[in-house]
Amino acid sequence: MSSDDGLPRSAPVSGGCWTRRTACGDVPLARVEAIVALDFPRWLSLFRLIRRSVARAIDSQPVCNGNRESFRHLLSRHSIIVWHFRSFDRKRRRIRAWETDPSGPTVIRLTSPNQVERLLATDHFKRHS
């Protein structure tokens, strides 16, 4: 089912505009019925990030817009690992603020990979995939 602008009304959707203040503004967030927020422990998030980044530095596959990870970049002050430390607490506060805002959409905060798997196994997600 689609809305007048062609956007799906009831399909699961994800998008960076929900988590950043960008040109998208608050429009996408105002239109959602629920936010599924991954709020994994820092150690798990960091472990996955390092594992993924090291693998990408080894295989030198393009990541985004033709960019490639390198060990030199991973050790720089502009690395995604440094960014993780700078942004993790801010993102966690944003998720918690969404969760406590009674005027906002429903927030489904998932704190473990098992919770994600259980949610994806529900009939709602199976119907829309």
The neighbour count for residue 79, using CB atoms within 10 Å, is: 18
Q: List the structure tokens of 120.
A: 């994806």
For the entire predicted model, the pTM comes to: 0.70
The encoded tokens of residue 35 equal 């936010």
69 CB neighbour count, 10 Å cutoff: 21
Per-residue confidence of the chain (129 residues) as pLDDT tens digits? 334 444 444 444 454 444 334 344 454 666 778 888 999 999 999 999 999 999 999 998 888 788 888 999 888 998 999 999 999 999 999 999 989 988 888 899 999 999 999 999 987 777 766
CA 9 to chain centre: 20
